[in-house]
Chain A
């Protein structure tokens, strides 16, 4: 019981942690969704040698453990003359990593669109860019939503690793409170509860979009 009380006294720390986790994930999404779409278009449209090289790169990036990527970005950018504080280094690494996954998700979604559907658009004389903007992307937005929802949950999970490069996100907060209050259970349980809340909210959102999709498009 006392642990819960102590945790409540540290509620500002938790709020700050949640705010940092959410701002990182949101910032990462805002950046990586357009980048992911661009990358997927490149993977579909670029000339073969370039496409293969790019595909290899994306594949390799997905093989790197996120923590290592975060370390390399955190220690590597200064060598390139770019000094970032931990939050920004976290955002850069989270975005880079997430983009690699989104490229693959969007590429798969492109492939999932019925061929005749695209051919019909071409028969009506749509340009390549109109084809993407008016035909492919709206359909992808609908079909890829659940997968992207899962990816957002994964990103939240990954963001916790940024505590190791001292980003003050939710797990950092729980660890801080647990160390300062000498009561491990409540702070970590609170963090787990908050993560659960976030992921349930995302799942509920995805389910809602799915329902809308079914009502509208069958």
Chain B
């Protein structure tokens, strides 16, 4: 492979990283919001959110991407490939991470919440001071693993023409008539990125367990 070809793929890697970072920053808080809304058990909303989560979890990500890109214009939401990719990634990860947040909220010890209430904390204070600082730590491992899953999903946005690593690799392959080397390089980049995340997740979980006795949920 020539240097310009490698450059093309590395540029793609930057796009992948940016897409992933934006989607993570949007989807994790959104997942928490979904979980909190479901925790409140408001009749109709609870049903709608549960349906949303079930559908997204059952739908292949590439199908979701195509859905967002081709179907949204029909309801008047015309999106360029990059925003469409971000929307699909965000919806996907918000749905999956909401299940992680929900599990953490459900497992939260009742007596700790009671102690906070007994000491005069308002609902907001109980959440911001006692519940959230613990659930984000307890969920950190599963959430990082959600990030790696998101990263593993990103190649699918190549189908709608976003030039990230995978699309860049297939371009190089098409130009050189040698598809294998660019795809091997692309695979290497993904694997290194994801392996780093996976390792850091293990380190984080061990440290939290040592320091506060918090075990991953």
| Known contacts A63-B191, A65-B152, A192-B67, A161 near B198 by CB under 8 Å | no
Contact of B190 among A65, A157, A158, A200 (CB under 8 A): A65
Q: How far is the CA of A174 from the CA of B60 in the complex (A)?
A: 12
> A67-B158, A75-B179, A79-B180 given. 5 additional CB < 8 A pairs?
A65-B153, A75-B180, A158-B60, A171-B62, A196-B59
Q: Which residues in A have some Cβ–Cβ distance to B below 8 Å?
A: 59-60, 63-69, 71-72, 75-76, 79, 153, 156-161, 163-164, 170-171, 174-175, 178, 184-185, 188-189, 191-192, 195-196, 198-200
Give the interface SS of chain A, mostly helix, strand, loop or mixed: helix
Question: B51: nearest residue on chain A (CB-CB)?
Answer: A196
Separation of A65 and B188 alpha carbons in the complex (Å): 10
A71–B66 contact, CB under 8 A? no
Q: Contact check, B166 vs A67: say whether CB atoms are below 8 A apart.
A: yes
Interface status of B142 (Cβ within 8 A of chain A)? no
From the candidates A69, A76, A157, name the one contacting B60 in the complex (CB within 8 A): A157
Complex interface: chain B residues within 8 A of A153 (CB): 57-58
B124, chain A: closest CB distance, angstroms:
36
* Known contacts A65-B154, A174-B66; is-contact A192 B190 (Cβ 8 Å): no
Q: Considering the complex, give the chain B residue whose CB is closest to the CB of A68.
A: B187
B-chain residues with CB within 8 Å of residue A76 when the two chains form the complex: 180, 184
Query: Can you list 19 contacts pairing A with B, beta carbon distance less than 8 Å?
Result: A59-B198, A60-B191, A63-B194, A64-B187, A65-B151, A65-B153, A68-B183, A71-B169, A72-B187, A160-B60, A160-B62, A185-B71, A188-B71, A192-B58, A192-B59, A192-B63, A195-B58, A196-B58, A200-B58
CB distance from B169 to the nearest CB of A (A): 8
Q: How far is the CB of A81 from chain B (nearest CB, A)?
A: 14
Contact A71 B183 (CB under 8 A): yes
Q: Which residues of A contact B153 (CB under 8 A)?
A: 65
Are the CB atoms of B195 and A161 closer together than 8 Å? no
Given the complex, which residues of B lie within 8 Å of A196, measured CB to CB? Answer: 54-55, 58-59
Residues on A with beta carbons closer than 8 Å to the beta carbon of B169: 71
In the A-B complex, the 7 residue pairs with the smallest Cβ-Cβ separation, listed nearest first, are A160-B60, A199-B58, A184-B70, A63-B194, A67-B155, A157-B60, A65-B152
In the complex, the answer to whether A161 meets B70 with C-beta atoms within 8 Å is no
Say whether chain B's binding surface is mostly helix, strand, loop, or mixed.
Answer: helix
CA distance A189 to B59 in the complex (A): 10
Chain A nearest CB, measured from B191 CB (Å) = 5
A73 to B136, CA, bound (A): 39
Q: Is the CB of A164 within 8 A of B60?
A: no
**Across the interface, which residues of A come within 8 angstroms of B100, CB to CB?**
none
Instruction: Kindly provide the distance from the CB of A79 to the nearest chain B CB, expressed in whole angstroms.
Output: 6
